[in-house]
Structure 1
Amino acid sequence: MDLAILLGTFVIGLIIGLPVAVTLGVASFAYLLAAGIPLVVIPQKMYAGMDVFVLLSIPGFILAGNLMNHGGITARIVRFANALVGWLRGGLGLSNVAASMLFGGISGTAVADAASIGGVMIPGMKKAGYPADFSAAVTAASSTVGPIIPPSVPMIIVGSLSGISVGRMFMAGAIPGLLLGLAMMVTVYIIAVRKGFPRQPWQGVGELGKSFLNAFWALFMTGLIVGSLLSGKVTPTETAVVASLYAFIVGAFFYRELPLRMLPRVIVDSAVASAAILALVGFANVFGWILVSERIPQAIAASVLSVTDNKFVVILLINVFLLFIGMFMETIAALIVLFVPLLTLATSVGIDPLHFATFAVLNLMIGLTTPPVGVCLFVCANIARLPLGPVVRAITPFILTNILILLLVSYVPALSTWLPSVLFD
């Protein structure tokens, strides 16, 4: 009965549109009241969930991304990406994906990517003769690469939940992230050829070189983050601090597009975004503690294993379940609530925890582009000034492409485990 109150309150909260953090808190509160458990458990478990050292890297990476975005990074990355692939058929679409791959190595969040790249590329593509729905769709789809290529806020969350090394998680996402981006570029090219989208003239090696040098300090940030982690001398949290300092210096003194008067606003915006994530982590930890105390992870594992213990079938069932959940639930909330129970199931059939974590994050990234609660869809449709329907139709080929890459990563563990084993073992 108590468990029914917990789950019923949670579902009702989602249906009526309450924020996920509030829904988790209210559902946990209702359960504790019904079960007669002292309410002091709420602040205790919230604090325990947030009192994880690696979570300090989240504000750092968010601040670094905001500083670089306000410091002129987006336009420089778009220019370099356009010089690199813009001369091909559908070049601006290809540039859009390439820019997202480059930007993803800095921001670590899909929504930041969609808003920043979309604000530049969607109007530019529309002006160049691309359909508005296609422009919004390719921007939303490519933004999901951001949290796969390191750094990645969802992977930091997963590391804090599971004890998996965040550095290993970052490296595990590198090859899948590249595959995802390349697959979407192939999809863009095929659609562009079929529909006769415009192409730009080759701008020459000179423009390619100039645009690279112009974007060098922005692109170097990814190398700084990855190199710091691989050195073994810097933790992810310390790397986030270094990245923030680097972003400030580059934006304020190299690019000179980050006025000092804007700094307080950037810091406040970053603090608000970080606080929202950490509040979600805190309430979700209370909710997760209740699920564990009710032995829900073991129940889920037992239920699935009573049907099949075939590893490949279990992987398929997990993917189908997460794709469904991703349609209705925000990525970080879904990870916090579901990752540990599903990890229990995955390890029981012999799936490597690092491999599982990688395809789980990739799966839920796809959810950012699926209706009815695809956040990146809403962001890009709003920038393109379109209703959601046309954008959903236009993004369907990209979702299918992303699902194919998800299945490839799910059934070929080496794609996610090989690089960390080479670099860290």
Structure 2
Amino acid sequence: MSLVLAGLFVLFLLMGLPIAVVIGAAAMSALNLGGVPLMVVPQQMFSGINSFALVAVPMFVLAGDIMAQGEISKRLVAFADSMFGFIKGGLSVVSVLAGMFFAAISGSGAATTAAVGASLVPELKRKGYDAASAASLIAASGTIGVVIPPSVPIIIYAVIAQESVKELFLSGFIPGIAMGVGLIAVALVQGHRRAYPRGTALSPATIMRTLVSASWGLMAPLIILGGIFSGIFTPSEAAVVAVNYAVFVSFFIYRDLTLSGLYRIVLRAGVTTAVIMFVIAASSVLSWALASWQVPGAIASFALSLSGNIYVLLILIMALILITGVFLETASALIILTPMLLPLAAQLGIDTVHFGIIIVVGLAIGMVTPPVAINLFVASTTANVPIEKIARAVLPYLLVLIVVYLLIAFVPLLLAL
């Protein structure tokens, strides 16, 4: 029946159905053909989303959308520019640092790309930066948004793998920083080769002024992550705190948010959350079917029969994750791959937390790898540059992200803080 399931999945995918419908319809059809009572379907769908940890998903999505819309993101960019804008090609460095700052607030790659792009793209164009290259760098920086905590994909993985969200969050810092350092290195090389201009002159007074201006935004990750790691509140409670903090700062400190604006943001966040939850619910049925037919065990046995070398098998796993990220949206790929690959990772002796970071980073790279490259599409819209040009310009950044990905997989010490 597993072959029937795979065939139906491909068929529905080629028909152009939404991915959640593809997953749910394929699983339900295969179960029906296998004589399994369809009462299992609603039971597993409810079971898949009946988790307190998933409360954090809509809240972090909403908090990220609120902070991306107004002054919080703009002031974070201005602060980064005051510190590093003086470097030749410094705005490229600012693009990456702003992405890292916002990653520690939003938990979303697309939100990070949109927030940084809206703030920086006009200035990058005005200073003579290549528009396609600048947009692709911002899109690549957006991948850090799902690695540095808080991270929606990490929360989803934690629920599936029954692992600690706190431990996974803690392990996301160094990989996220490593991705940022790699992107900055490429950006600096390109800045010198293309003779990009210097930005804001280095001035202690300017740094202090922008620091004070951005202080409310900078405090957000300190409050959210500090509360989680100190044990004051759980990740789900932290997500609610993040929303309240974002609303308070936007309404009463920066005063850049109106009730009508908040209403539109809540609606958009609700739609995003509904899509994610539908995917999780449908994928829970698929995971149950795969487990019932012992597919994960068969995959593990087949992989181990190919080679007994842990490094060869790990490279095969990573290649599969990257390829899947090219064609599937992150949440969908994560929910499908985790139950299938986790038993194999366990047999190879890979720690559950380490594997979680491997799979999240691999799928994050898919956000800038066409055809399903959400960050590239967001950057294309923001910068008004054709997606084809951005897809070519992103190649140097894509290569360095893959190098960092290999380091994360084969040097587990990078996850330790």
Q: TM-score per shorter chain, which class?
A: over 0.9
The superposition leaves residues 283-330 of structure 1 with CA deviations (integer Å, 9 ceiling, x where unpaired) of: 000011111111110011001101122222221111111111111111
Q: Given that residues 228 and 239 in structure 1 are in contact (C-alpha distance below 8 angstroms), is that contact kept between their aligned partners in structure 2?
A: yes
By how many angstroms is 1:69 displaced?
A: 2.3
**Separation in 2, partners of 1:140, 1:313:** 31
Q: Does 1:270 align with 2:269?
A: yes
Distance in 2 of aligned mates of 1:174 and 1:309: 32
In structure 2, distance between residues paired with 1:37 and 1:201: 65
* 2:2/2:295 contact within 8 Å kept: no
Conserved? CA contact 1:136–1:381, under 8 Å: yes
Structure 2 residue aligned with 1:31 = 30
Taking the aligned partners of 1:355 and 1:236, their CA distance within structure 2 comes to 19
Aligned to 1:173: 172
1:112-163: CA deviation from partner (whole Å, max 9, x where unpaired)? 1112211222232112111111111101111001111110000000000011
| Deviation (angstroms), 1:388 | 2.4
C-alpha distance in 2, partners of 1:390/1:7?
A: 34
Secondary structure, in 3 states, of the residue corresponding to 1:183? helix
C-alpha distance in structure 2 between counterparts of 1:374 and 1:362, whole Å: 14
- Report what 2:147 is aligned to: 148
2:244 aligned with 1:283: no
Q: Tell me, in whole angstroms, the C-alpha distance in 2 between the residues paired with 1:69 and 1:133.
A: 22
Query: Partner amino acid for 1:261?
Result: S
Residue 160 of structure 1: aligned partner: 159
Partner residue, 1:246: 245
Distance in structure 2 (CA, Å) of the matches to 1:358 and 1:4: 29
1:136 and 1:384 in contact (8 A); partners too: yes
Q: Which range moves more in the overlay, 61-70 or 98-107?
A: 61-70
- Distance (whole Å) between structure 1 residues aligned to residue 15 and residue 190 of structure 2: 38
Give CA-to-partner distance per residue, 1:153-189, whole Å, 9 cap, x none.
0000000001110011111000110111111011100
Quote the Cα distance in structure 2 between the aligned partners of 1:341 and 1:32: 18
Instruction: Name the residue aligned to 2:213.
Output: 214
The aligned residue for residue 17 of structure 2 is: 18
1:273 offset after TM fit, Å?
1.2
Q: Is the deviation greater in 354-363 or in 261-270? A: 261-270
Q: Distance in 2 between matches of 1:168 and 1:331?
A: 21
Cross-structure match for 1:8: 7
SS in 1 for 2:4: helix
1:38-187 residue pairs with structure 2 within 5 A? 38-187=37-186
Listed as ranges, the gaps of 5+ residues in structure 2 are none
Q: Which stretches of structure 1, 4 residues or more, deviate above 4 A after TM superposition?
A: none
Contact 2:103 2:112 (8 Å CA) reproduced: yes
2:236 is aligned with what amino acid?
A: T
Distance 2:181 2:390 in 1: 21
Q: Distance in 2 between matches of 1:214 and 1:103?
A: 16
**What are the within-5 Å matches in structure 2 for residues 347-386 of structure 1?**
347-386=346-385
CA RMSD after TM alignment:
1.3
What is the letter of the counterpart of residue 204 of structure 1?
S
Confirm or deny that 1:229 pairs with 2:224. no
The alpha-carbon deviation at position 72 of structure 1 amounts to 1.8
Deviations 1:253-276 (A, max 9, x none): 111112233222222222221111
Distance 1:245 1:4 in 2: 48
Asked if structure 2 preserves the Cα contact closer than 8 Å seen for 1:5 and 1:30, the reply is: no
The 5 Å alignment of 1:340-351 reads 340-351=339-350
Contact (CA 8 Å) 1:21, 1:283: kept in 2 or not?
yes
In structure 1, distance between residues paired with 2:67 and 2:388: 33
